[in-house]
Amino acid sequence: MWRKAYQWPYLRRDTKVLKIFLDDFMRDAIKYTKDTRWKTITAMGVIYALKCQGCTIIHYVDLV
């Protein structure tokens, strides 16, 4: 019973936050791919996009 009342307001908020994060992340990954004139998004593009969002991956920080 408590799940239904608890879940909906937070689910809507979390969905909006996740959508914004993924939109910004994909925009940064596509921008990096276009800047490097590649035709596909590579792992390096994903790492760079995550770094732009403030989510660094520990071992790959120095590569970007």
The CATH number covering residue 20 comes to 1.10.20.10
38 by DSSP, 3-state: which? coil
Q: Give the predicted TM-score (pTM) of the model.
A: 0.65
Find the domain containing 39 and state its range.
Answer: 2-63
Residues 6+ apart with CB under 8 A from 63: 44, 47
Number of domains present in the structure of the chain:
1
Which has the closest alpha carbon to 28: 42, 5, 48, 55? 48
On whether the CB atoms of residues 24 and 53 are closer than 8 A, the answer is yes
pLDDT by position in tens, the chain (length 64): 455 555 667 777 888 888 998 898 899 889 888 988 988 888 888 888 888 888 767 665 555 5
